[in-house]
Amino acid sequence: MRFVHDTLPQRVRFASGAATEELAAEVAELGARRVMVVAGGSGREIADRVTAGLPVVHRHTDVVMHVPVDVARRARDAATEWHADTLVCVGGGSATGLAKAVALTTGLPIVAVPTTYAGSEATAVWGLTEDARKTTGTDPRVLPRAIVYDATLTRSLPVGLSVASGLNALAHCVDSMWAPHSDPVDRALAAEGVRALSGGLPLVVKDPHALDGRERTLYGAYLAAVAFASAGSGLHHKVCHVLGGMFGLPHAQTHAVVLPHVLAFNAPYSPDAERLLASAFGAPTAGEGLARLRAALDAPRSLRSLGMPQEGVAAAAEAVVAAAPPGNPRPVTLASITELVQTAWEGNPPR
């Protein structure tokens, strides 16, 4: 056995129902005196609750998915104008992503309070969008110093979004099995992530307010993100990145649709991943485990239903082939990727 595994320096608190106290403890530990809160949309109301009592100098609510550069510039200007010394982001990957954009140029520390299963809070990956093109990079400055996970804050996430976001997390686990820097530690985390997510998500669908399902799903989402942060982007993430950028498709839903197709594409060429995933799903094969889970969740099926035009299939396939990670278990060809994207567009089961 020979591998190199980087563990990211970050404190993680799981505390259902106690985000306010746990966040206050983290902010105090950082010695923060001037907090800028980043929270948009539904995150604003949650942020008002959990940041009550903090030394907040500014609440930044201008949050947009995929962090357009002008949105990032306004947030950076606000941090400078208000002399912020700490960023607290409350919300999904969009709020975390905006806080990361500020940290990238200012070096300010972030404390993240996630309210979806996107997992951005546990990675050092940032993303910015300009002219419909998303650029991503990795920088230790954007890794939040601490995460406060409070599953009660995810109760208000609608079931459809919970399913898509949870499958986004599951995609982090699956792709971590064969991504360029995948190692045995990543695969162990990813397998436990699959167990937690495949156990938790059906409970969320059954009763979105029940804490057990929300806690298991949030725990799985964290494990998924840690595995992904170390393993890097595999084929699945490259496909979703291309589709999201080219057609402006919703992030989590695109992951939910594409996942079974990439799994069917790669798993037969990666016996180790197949065995680990099948066992984690508790199913005879990985594909069957995912299919059963998706049926139980009534997961989104087609790229067509997300608004992708059929004429886009050929261009998307070309871009995926150009971006395909080296060392993908199955050789990537234009013909095979065109078939994959076409099948996902139609919403048919993977071939």
User: Least distance (Å) from ligand NAD to the CB of residue 114?
Assistant: 8
Query: Do 58 and 78 contact (CB within 8 A), yes or no?
Result: yes
Of 2 and 133, nearer to ligand NAD (C-beta) is 133
Of 59 and 251, nearer to ligand NAD (C-beta) is 251
The residue sitting closest to ligand NAD, measured at its beta carbon, is 93
What lies within 8 Å, CB to CB, of 90 at 6+ separation is: 37, 38, 39, 43, 46, 47, 50, 51, 113, 115
User: Least distance (Å) from ligand NAD to the CB of residue 92?
Assistant: 2
Candidates 78, 97, 88; CA nearest to 28 is: 88
User: Least distance (Å) from ligand NAD to the CB of residue 308?
Assistant: 17
Measured CA distances, 92 to 44, 161, 186, 232, 285 (Å): 11, 11, 23, 20, 32
Of 95 and 163, nearer to ligand NAD (C-beta) is 95
Of 258 and 278, nearer to ligand NAD (C-beta) is 258
Instruction: Report how far residue 6's alpha carbon sits from residue 122's, in angstroms, rounded to the nearest whole number.
Output: 13
Interface positions with ligand NAD (CB under 6 A): 41-43, 65-66, 91-95, 97, 115-116, 118-120, 123, 125, 127, 153-154, 156-157, 161, 165, 251-252
Q: Specify the pairing of strand 86-91 against strand 110-114.
A: parallel
User: Least distance (Å) from ligand NAD to the CB of residue 40?
Assistant: 6
What lies within 8 Å, CB to CB, of 192 at 6+ separation is: 220, 223, 280
Helix axes 251-266, 159-176, angle to 10 degrees: 40
Indicate the length of the chain as a whole number: 351
User: Least distance (Å) from ligand NAD to the CB of residue 25?
Assistant: 22
What lies within 8 Å, CB to CB, of 285 at 6+ separation is: 267, 274, 278
User: Least distance (Å) from ligand NAD to the CB of residue 255?
Assistant: 9
Of 227 and 341, nearer to ligand NAD (C-beta) is 227
Of 136 and 333, nearer to ligand NAD (C-beta) is 136
Instruction: Report how far residue 297's alpha carbon sits from residue 233's, in angstroms, rounded to the nearest whole number.
Output: 25
Of 20 and 165, nearer to ligand NAD (C-beta) is 165
User: Least distance (Å) from ligand NAD to the CB of residue 203?
Assistant: 17
Helix axes 184-206, 211-231, angle to 10 degrees: 150
User: Least distance (Å) from ligand NAD to the CB of residue 172?
Assistant: 8
Of 100 and 294, nearer to ligand NAD (C-beta) is 100
